[in-house]
Homo-oligomer: A and B are copies of this chain.
Amino acid sequence: MDKVVSLEKAMEALHDNQTILIPGFVNIGVPETLIKGIIDKGCKNLNIISNNTSVRGRGIGLLVHENRIRHITCSHIGSNTETVEKVVAGEIDVTFVPQGTLCERVRAGGAGIGGVLTPVGIGTPVEEGKQIIELDGKKYLLEKALRGDVAIIHAWKADRMGNLVYRRTARNFNQIFATAADIVICEAEEIVEVGALDPDMIHTPGCLVDMIVKA
């Protein structure tokens, strides 16, 4: 099962109006090769789930700049002033989710969990419209699972069947985002042969990855 494909082939899975999971913290661990592929293909009206939107003109910021995003679900946009401008101007809708809750919701979506109870957000605007459940005298918000049509991710090393290793803080949201979409496309800095990675040191099992592109 050799999953290595061309960027063009991988982009056949991308379409207008999709919900796309894109990892990255500020601009580290962002799949910029695949983002450029999306821009070149012309996909628009996208619904993005990410932690933030990189920085102006880089990573997810390219999608912001090219006006391809309809809505973003994220924890923070402060690192990209262009995103802030477009949100203020009403050109992009944004839903803010606490960063840990974003992790929980996407992990739940990838792991067949319907939702989790978190104390985070109790007493804050995050409560709005959500069910509050009290357990043993403590209040929790019921936060529902979240999934994407496609996840595009960035790995340091990938073997040809999709086993992945991430590098340092570039791991961030890649590991969970790879679990929670119908199609998972990974760009890798280095592609190695099957068997080259230590079985204990694989961060994402190959069974989760559908296509691999050289970053």
Contacts and interface: CB of A to CB of B under 8 A. Distances in A.
Interface of A: 104, 108, 112-119, 133, 135, 138, 140, 142, 144, 165-168, 171, 198-201, 203
Given A165-B200, A166-B200, A200-B166, A135 B118 contact: no
A108 B111 CA distance: 14
Nearest to A104: B113
A131 to B, nearest CB: 8
A176 to B, nearest CB: 13
A175 B113 CA distance: 20
Contact of A116 (B115, B119, B203): B115
Given A113-B117, A117-B115, A171 B200 contact: yes
26 contacts: A104-B113, A108-B116, A113-B116, A113-B117, A113-B118, A114-B118, A114-B119, A114-B140, A115-B116, A115-B117, A115-B133, A115-B135, A115-B140, A116-B116, A116-B117, A117-B142, A133-B142, A135-B144, A165-B200, A166-B200, A167-B200, A168-B199, A168-B200, A171-B200, A198-B201, A200-B203
A201 to B, nearest CB: 5
Interface centre among A112, A117, A167, A168 (most CB of B within 10 A): A117
Contacts of A167: 200
B114 A117 contact: yes
A200 B165 CA distance: 9
A198 B135 CA distance: 40
